[in-house]
Amino acid sequence: MNRKKITFTNRQLVIISWIIVILSIVVILESAFLLYLKFEKATTHVKVKEIPPVIFNVPQMENSSQIDVNIETEQIKAFEINATSLLNNSFEFADEASKVAIYTLTGKDLERALGSCEGQYFVTEVSTDLYSLVLTKDCKNISKIPQRTVFGIYLLAVGSEGFARAKMLDLREMGLPSFVLHFTRQEKDYYSTVIGAFPSRDMGQSYLKKLNWDEILEKTNLRERGFVGCVINCGD
C-alpha cells in the first residue's frame, strides 16, 4: 500500500515555526513564574507580635455593707375626691347624742381636711364643689367654726337595726350618702335610715328636692317619701 507523502509550502512552514516558538515562550514564562513563587514562599517569614493586655485600673470601693444610705421620705397625707371613695369611707352608724362637728367646705378644703383631720367622717355633696362634712372629732386644721346640730332626710324609723341597715345599703348602692341613726323614745330603741347630713334645714330641703324618689322607693320597697328633720344634737 502506497503512503502519501505530506509536503508543506514555505508559508506553512513559517507559520508552524512561529507557533512552536510562541508555545516555547509560554512554557518558559510559566516555569519561571512557578520558580518565583516557590522562592518567595521559602524566604518569607511571618512575625506575630504579641499585644499586651489592656489593664483598667478601677478604684476599689468599700464593702457595701459599710456604706449607709439614708433616704428620708416625708409622708404627705393626700386625699383624692372621689364619690365612691367618699361613700365607702363615710361612717354607717350614728347616735342622736353623738358629739360631732359639721362644716360646709369647697372641694379643695374638703380634700385638705380629709387628709389631715382625725376620726370618722360623713360627706354629702350638696351641690357642685360644695360639701357638708361631719367629723366625730374637732379638726384644728379647718379654719371655720364647726356647727354641732346636724339635719338629715328621714326615710323610716323602725325598731330593727338590721332592717334600717338593709335600707341604708340599698341607698348606698344607688350612690346616695346614708347612715343608720339610733335614738331612744320612752326608753325604747329605734333606728332610722337617714339620707345626707346638713348644717341647716334649708340645705336639707334643697337636697331633698333633687332626689329621684321614684327610684328610691322602688329600690327600698317603701311607699312614702322622706322628710327633713334634725338628727344629731337636736336639744330638747
In which element (H, E) is residue 173 found? helix 161-173
CATH architecture of 83-232: 2-Layer Sandwich (3.30)
- The DSSP call for residue 4 is P
Q: Where are the domains of the chain?
A: 83-232
Per-residue burial over 203-225, b if 16 or more Cβ lie within 10 Å, else e, is bbeebbeebeeeebeeebebeee
Each residue's pLDDT expressed in tens, for the chain with a length of 236 residues: 555 566 767 777 778 888 888 888 887 887 777 776 666 655 544 444 444 444 444 444 444 444 343 433 333 344 456 889 999 999 999 999 999 999 999 999 999 999 999 999 999 999 999 999 999 999 988 999 999 999 999 999 999 999 999 999 999 999 999 999 999 999 999 999 999 999 999 999 999 999 999 999 999 999 999 999 999 999 76
Other CB atoms within a 10 A radius of the CB of residue 119 amount to 13
Q: Which amino acid is at 99?
A: K
Q: What distances in angstroms separate CA 139 from CA 41, 78, 144, 175, one per listed residue?
A: 100, 16, 10, 27
Q: What is the dihedral of CA 129, 132, 138, 140, to 10 degrees?
A: 20
The pLDDT of residue 32 is 74
The pLDDT of residue 54 is 42
The pLDDT of residue 61 is 44
